């Protein structure tokens, strides 16, 4: 299976973690990115397959699909073990909802911080930080006293971690949210998660991009 991935793409991170959890070896090609602005530059195969011109894109023996959620569904269908969704229908529905929230509610709130890295004292930066903290709080409340977002480790945790990392890399810490901080530690004790996180850190180091100090 070939994966077109973004070197700092949080949606690619979801697929990389899910594949590693299942022991799937992907042939990963990082598409060109504009490192200073963290934006996708373009790639002929990605642009041909995905009219939205976004990564990740997966090719498996002639099957060409895009969107991290769909790709993870396909991996789950083809490699059901270990399962990355809870078996029980209500828990599964709850997990899917968390995954959707991570991508479409929390990630948009968390990513904005990146726009103000170079000017953290502006009013817009303060607004972005407040929004990102709101997302961290929502994640913390969703987790509650559970070990994992939907009871068992699932794609809900994987998607939430990818979103979480966006703001974490821009210096935001879950300092006064100990449950979320402990969940981060649990996530990062998994080799699949560490590998995906360290892949981004290596890319940033290669590009000589320094991450902001924790705020
Ligand atoms: N819903 C899509 C979102 C993918 C997405 O936003 N990818 C970003 C990278 S993290 C991208 O390729 N952006 C390029 C662009 O929009 O120009 C998914 O889950 O795969």
* pLDDT at residue 80 greater than cutoff 80: yes
From 17, 49, 53, 55, give the residue whose CB has the most ligand 1 atoms within 8 Å, as the site to mutate: 55
* pLDDT at residue 34 greater than cutoff 90: no
- Asked if residue 215 is part of any domain, the answer here is no
Query: Averaged over 129-139, what is the pLDDT?
Result: 96
Closest CA to 37 of 135, 116, 124: 116
b/e burial code for range 28-44 (CB count within 10 A of at least 16 → b): bebbebebeebebeebe
As a whole number of angstroms, the distance between CA 168 and CA 110 comes to 9
Say yes or no: CB of residue 10 within 6 Å of ligand 1. Answer: yes
- 120-124, 143-147, 192-196: least confident range: 120-124
> Domain total for the chain?
2
- In this predicted structure, what is the pLDDT of residue 212? 80
- Whole-number Å distance, alpha carbon 78 to ligand 1 midpoint, is 23
- Kindly give, in sequence order, each residue whose CB lies less than 8 Å from that of residue 7, ignoring residues fewer than 6 positions away: 30, 31, 33, 199, 200, 203
Query: Averaged over 117-146, what is the pLDDT?
Result: 91
Query: Averaged over 119-143, what is the pLDDT?
Result: 92
Same domain, 104 and 60: no
Choose one of 41, 58, 78: the last residue of a domain: 78
Same domain, 20 and 109: no
Phi/psi zone of residue 32: left (φ > 0), alpha (ψ -120 to 50 degrees), beta?
beta
* pLDDT at residue 149 greater than cutoff 80: yes
- Whole-number Å distance, alpha carbon 151 to ligand 1 midpoint, is 28
- Give the number of the atom of ligand 1 that is nearest the alpha carbon of residue 40: 14
* pLDDT at residue 77 greater than cutoff 90: yes
CA dihedral for 163, 211, 186, 146, sign (positive or negative): negative
Residue closest by Cα to atom 5 of ligand 1: 54
Residue closest by Cα to atom 9 of ligand 1: 9
- Give the number of the atom of ligand 1 that is nearest the alpha carbon of residue 8: 10
Same domain, 74 and 99: no
State the chain's mean pLDDT as an integer.
94
| Paired tokens of 77 | 């269908």
* pLDDT at residue 118 greater than cutoff 80: no
């Amino acid at each position: 299976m070939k994966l077109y991935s973004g070197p700092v793409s949080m949606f690619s991170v979801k697929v990389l973690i899910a594949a590693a959890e299942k022991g799937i070896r992907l042939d990963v090609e990082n598409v060109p990115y504009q490192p200073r602005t963290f934006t996708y530059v373009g790639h002929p195969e990605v642009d041909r397959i995905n009219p939205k011109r976004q990564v990740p894109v997966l090719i498996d023996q002639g099957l060409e699909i895009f969107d991290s959620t769909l790709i993870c569904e396909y991996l789950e269908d083809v490699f059901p073990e270990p399962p990355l969704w809870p078996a029980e229908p209500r828990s599964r529905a709850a997990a899917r909802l968390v995954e959707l929230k991570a991508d479409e509610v929390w990630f948009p709130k968390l990513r904005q911080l990146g726009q103000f890295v170079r000017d953290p004292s502006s009013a817009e930066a303060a607004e972005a930080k407040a929004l990102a903290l709101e997302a961290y709080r929502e994640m913390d409340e969703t987790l509650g006293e559970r070990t994992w977002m939907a009871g068992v480790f699932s794609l809900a945790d994987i998607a939430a971690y990818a979103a979480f990392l966006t703001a974490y890399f821009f210096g935001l810490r879950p300092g006064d949210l100990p449950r979320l901080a402990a969940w981060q530690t649990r996530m990062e004790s998994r080799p699949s998660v560490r590998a995906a996180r360290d892949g981004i850190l290596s890319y940033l180091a290669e590009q000589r991009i320094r991450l902001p100090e924790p705020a």
